[in-house]
Amino acid sequence: MARFSALLACSLLGATPALADRVFVSNEKGNDITVLDGTTFEVIHTFNGGQRPRGITASPDGKVIYVCASDDNLVRVFDAHTYEELPSLPSGPDPELFVLHPSGNPLYIANEDDNIVTVVDVETRQVLAEVPVGVEPEGMGVSPDGKIVINTSETTNMAHFIDTESFEIVQNVLVDQRPRFAQFMADGSALLVSSEIGGTVSVIDPATAQVTHKIEFEVPGVLPEALQPVGVRVTQDGSKVFVALGPANRVAVIDPATWEVTDYLLVGQRVWQLAFSPDDKYLFTTNGNSNDVSVIDVATNEVIKSVQVGQQPWGVVVVAE
């Protein structure tokens, strides 16, 4: 018994506390990245993100953070643990949003000024292809099997389906005005494209490239022109869709079984992009005009916290520890 107690004591003394997830927020006007503790939601670090950081994502293993430094015309790369800047990636002019292949390589970048999608190998830092798309490309999404990349062009009002092997456009789908974001359901059964000025989210069947449904929004007391869908995220189990509604200061909750809006959650001002914690317990929103991040309890649809970050938070990604 004494020996067991001694071993237990040594085990407890040697135990290390579980590390929290970390939330990385790009601050477009502040030119920096704010890091939050994913459990306490406190700011734990801030580092330089380049000029006008917007799109932000992480490698699948959570070791590397990629940032669209739009006014630097670069994708800046950072060690997710030390925050040290690593060699940057070429991006083409004015990168705004991007998406990583599910394998972690390559990176597909929307270049708004040149009407192209630039494909970059993140290991060799070489441009693999430049794919001409519509006018003002913005949103980027990738199918779960990695075979199709989606780009949305804001002025052409289309979702372009790009084959990831040939780098050729294989389908063009007309959506409503100013499409901003593309998100697949986790099982690949549907593609969701938000249209900021059109005020809708188009539900597209990836197999047929046909719009099967359009989700519209209505909030009492909020002008219709303020209901501007931008960021879209879907839970891993496919039970809920969340849509950021921009200057309406709301996040819509949608039931994918019916594509009906079930709730509107009041968050900060000009809610833009969204990211789940790795376990889908929390959803984090970037609120550009109130300079904060709202934390949503996904199970209860409750906004449980508001955290001040930098100037004009734009993008967000969460890294598991």
Q: How far apart are CA 42 and CA 187, in angstroms?
A: 33
Work out the angle at residue 243's Cα, subtended by the Cα atoms of residues 237 and 31, and round it to the nearest 5 degrees.
Answer: 110
Nearest to 282 by CA among 304, 314, 264: 304
State the DSSP H helix or E strand holding residue 162, giving kind and residue range, or none if neither: strand 158-163
Q: How far apart are CA 43 and CA 271, in angstroms?
A: 19
Are the CB atoms for 109 and 117 separated by under 8 Å? Answer: yes
Token duo for residue 215: 């989700």
Mean pLDDT, 10 residues at a time, over the chain (321 residues)? 45 52 98 98 98 98 97 97 98 94 98 94 97 96 98 97 98 98 97 98 98 97 97 98 98 98 98 98 98 98 98 98 82
State the DSSP H helix or E strand holding residue 262, giving kind and residue range, or none if neither: strand 260-266
Q: How far apart are CA 99 and CA 58, in angstroms?
A: 10
Instruction: Give CATH superfamily name and number for 51-174.
Output: YVTN repeat-like/Quinoprotein amine dehydrogenase (2.130.10.10)
Are the CB atoms for 243 and 254 separated by under 8 Å? Answer: yes
Q: How far is CA 53 from the centre of its chain?
A: 13
Nearest to 192 by CA among 258, 135, 243: 243
pLDDT at 23 (0 to 100): 98
Residues 6+ apart with CB under 8 A from 105: 121, 122, 123
Q: Identify the bridge partners of residue 98 per DSSP, sorted by sequence position.
A: 109
Q: How far apart are CA 264 and CA 301, in angstroms?
A: 9
pLDDT at 18 (0 to 100): 53
Q: How far apart are CA 167 and CA 144, in angstroms?
A: 17
pLDDT at 20 (0 to 100): 84
Query: Considering just the CA atoms, what is the radius of gyration of the chain in Å?
Result: 20
Cα within 13 Å of Cα(42), Cβ side: 3
pLDDT at 203 (0 to 100): 98
Domain range list for the chain: 51-174
Are the CB atoms for 216 and 224 separated by under 8 Å? Answer: no
Q: What is the DSSP string of 47-58?
A: EE--SSEEEEEE
Nearest to 161 by CA among 175, 149, 178: 149
State the DSSP H helix or E strand holding residue 4, giving kind and residue range, or none if neither: helix 2-14
Amino acid, res. 221: G
How many Cβ atoms from other residues are within 10 Å of residue 269's Cβ? 14
Token duo for residue 6: 């001694």
pLDDT at 65 (0 to 100): 98
Task: Phi first, then psi: give them for residue 55, nearest 5 degrees.
Answer: -55, 140
User: Is cis: bond before 106, omega within 30 of 0?
Assistant: yes
40: three-class secondary structure by DSSP: coil
pLDDT at 55 (0 to 100): 98
pLDDT at 2 (0 to 100): 45
Q: How far apart are CA 254 and CA 242, in angstroms?
A: 6
Q: How far apart are CA 80 and CA 59, in angstroms?
A: 9
